[in-house]
Structure 1
C-alpha cells in the first residue's frame, strides 16, 4: 500500500461484508452499516449472482471472523473489559453498532486508510461515535503503544484487540512486536486471523492461496507472513498468552448453525484468540 493511498484490500473486505447482507447466510453476521458506509461504492444484490465459489468462501470467512471476534468481545465485556482496540480497522463498523455504552473504542489504521474511512462516514451522513477515538498508525514505522497511550488508552487496564485481515500483510517483526506488547498487559485478549503456508496445504488449498495471493499482490498489498499452527501457538505461549483458541476455516460451520456446509473445507485460513489471564 502506498503511503498516501488508502488500502485497496480494505475496500474489498468492506464490499464483501456489504454483499453478505443480501445473501442467504446474512444471519451469520448482520451489519446494518456495511452498505451505507460505502456510499456509491456499495455492491448491488445482483452481484451475488456473479460470485464464484472462491469468492463466496472468502466472503463467508471474512464475515465469520468478524462474528467470532464480536462474540468473544461480548464475553470479555461481561468479564469487565472496558477498552476495545480495532487494529487495521478499515471500514469496520463496530463503533457505529457498539451496544456497550461504557466500552471505549480505539480505531487504529494506516493514516491514509483512516482518513478515507472518516471521509466515507461523513459522505454517508454517519456521525463519528463520541466514544470512539481514531488513532493513525503505520505498524511498520510507528510505536503502537506510544500512539495509543497518547490517544488515552489506559495501558494498565485490560483491553480487547480485534486484528482482522492485517497480519498476513505485515512482517513477522511487526506482528510479534504488537503481540508482545498486548501480552504484557494482564487480562488483555487479541483475535486475529492468519494463513498457513503453501507447503502445509493440500492441492485445493494451494490453488486457493495462489489465487487470492495473486489478487492482493496485484493491487500492491502482498501477503508476506504465514504461520504453521503449532509453531504459532508455541510462540504465543512463550509471549505470555495462556488461553489460546485456534479455529481453522473448516471448523467454522460446526460453530454456527446455518453456516453452509461448503465451509467445512479447510482452506488454510485460521481465526485465533489469545488471552493472558493473569
Structure 2
C-alpha cells in the first residue's frame, strides 16, 4: 500500500503522516528509545523501515532530529500522565486529533475506555492503515469522527458514548498551533468543567520573539513545512500568559515544562544528540471539577 496514494485519496492530514513517520523513525534510528512503540512501524506498512533507512541522513539532521525528540517526549509525557490518572481511578482516555497514534493498540490498562477523535477523512485513512497492518482495534476503543465545521466537540464525544459524569484524561498533541486561540480556549474550557480528577496533556509553540537566534531557523522550518502542507500554524502561547488563563478556566494544578525540564528527564546522557530544541512546551493540567460542565441538553 502506498502512503502517498492513501493520503491523496482520503484527504486526511498530511501532518499526521509526517508525525507517524518520525515516531517510527525513533524506533529504528535512536538507541536507547525514549518512547517504545511496537505498533509505530507496522501501522505504516511492510516497507516502513526501508523507507526510514533510505532517509536516515536527513532524519539525523535538525530540524528532523529536534522534531522527533519533541514528538516522542510529548507522547511519553502524555502516557505517563495517563498512567497516573488511571491509578487514581480515571477510566476514560480521549485522544484529540489522534492521527496515527497507536496507544489504543498497545493499551496496558485493561479497564480503560479509549476514544479517538479526529477529522472523518483522517480517521477513515487510519482505519485503512490498521486493517492493512492486521491490527484489530480492541473492544474498548471508540472512533469518533468529528468535523468541527459541522459539529461541536461535546456533541462528538456524546455520540461516542463519553460519560460526562466520570473523570477523563485527554491528550491533545500537535494540534493547538493549528487552531485559533479562541478555539484552543474553548476546548480547554470544556475539559476544565469535567468531574474531579480529570486532566489533559497538550503541547504548544512559543512565538518567535521568545526563541533564541539558534532556535529561530528550526522554528521557521517547521512553520514553512506546515504551510506547504496546507496546514499553517495559527496560535502561539507563552508560559506567563497561559498559566493565568488556565487558572481562570478552572484548572487547579498546572505543570508547564520546556526543554530545560524535559531534556534531563528524557534525553540525559545520550551520545546521538537527540534532544528538545525548545520551540514547543508541554502542559499537564488537572481540574477539581467544580465548574460542573454539562453538554447541551444534559441535565445537571
Shorter-chain TM-score: which interval? Answer: over 0.9
Does residue 128 of structure 1 match 2:137? yes
Query: 1:277 maps to which residue?
Result: 288
Query: 1:11 maps to which residue?
Result: 17
Match of 1:20 among 22, 26, 29: 26
Q: How do residues 1-278 of structure 1 correspond to structure 2 at under 5 angstroms?
A: 5-39=11-45, 42-44=48-50, 45-46=52-53, 47-51=55-59, 52-139=61-148, 141-186=150-195, 187-256=197-266, 258=268, 260=270, 262=273, 266-278=277-289
Instruction: Please say if residues 171 and 201 of structure 2, whose CA atoms lie closer than 8 Å, have aligned partners that are also in contact.
Output: yes
Instruction: Please say if residues 250 and 263 of structure 1, whose CA atoms lie closer than 8 Å, have aligned partners that are also in contact.
Output: no
Pair 1:119–1:264, CA change in 2 (3 A): closer
**Rounded Cα–Cα distance in structure 1 between residues aligned with 2:198 and 2:151:** 21
Aligned residues: 278
Aligned-partner SS, 1:275 = strand
How far off its partner does 1:24 sit?
A: 3.0
TM-score by structure 2 length? 0.87
How far off its partner does 1:3 sit?
A: 12
Aligned-partner SS, 1:68 = helix
Unaligned runs of at least 5 residues, structure 1? none
The CA RMSD measured in Å over matched residues stands at 2.1
The list of structure 1 runs, each at least 4 consecutive aligned residues, that deviate by more than 3 angstroms after superposition, is 1-4, 257-266
How far off its partner does 1:268 sit?
A: 2.3
**Rounded Cα–Cα distance in structure 1 between residues aligned with 2:225 and 2:57:** 20
How far off its partner does 1:250 sit?
A: 3.5
Pair 1:159–1:84, CA change in 2 (3 A): same
**Rounded Cα–Cα distance in structure 2 between residues aligned with 1:266 and 1:50:** 17
Higher CA-based Rg: 2
How far off its partner does 1:128 sit?
A: 1.4
Instruction: Please say if residues 251 and 264 of structure 1, whose CA atoms lie closer than 8 Å, have aligned partners that are also in contact.
Output: no
Aligned-partner SS, 1:53 = coil
**Deviation digits for residues 120-156 of structure 1, max 9, x if unmatched?**
0011111111100000113454211111112111011
**Rounded Cα–Cα distance in structure 1 between residues aligned with 2:94 and 2:45:** 25
Pair 1:86–1:35, CA change in 2 (3 A): same
**Rounded Cα–Cα distance in structure 1 between residues aligned with 2:93 and 2:8:** 27
Pair 1:80–1:265, CA change in 2 (3 A): closer
Instruction: Please say if residues 14 and 91 of structure 1, whose CA atoms lie closer than 8 Å, have aligned partners that are also in contact.
Output: yes
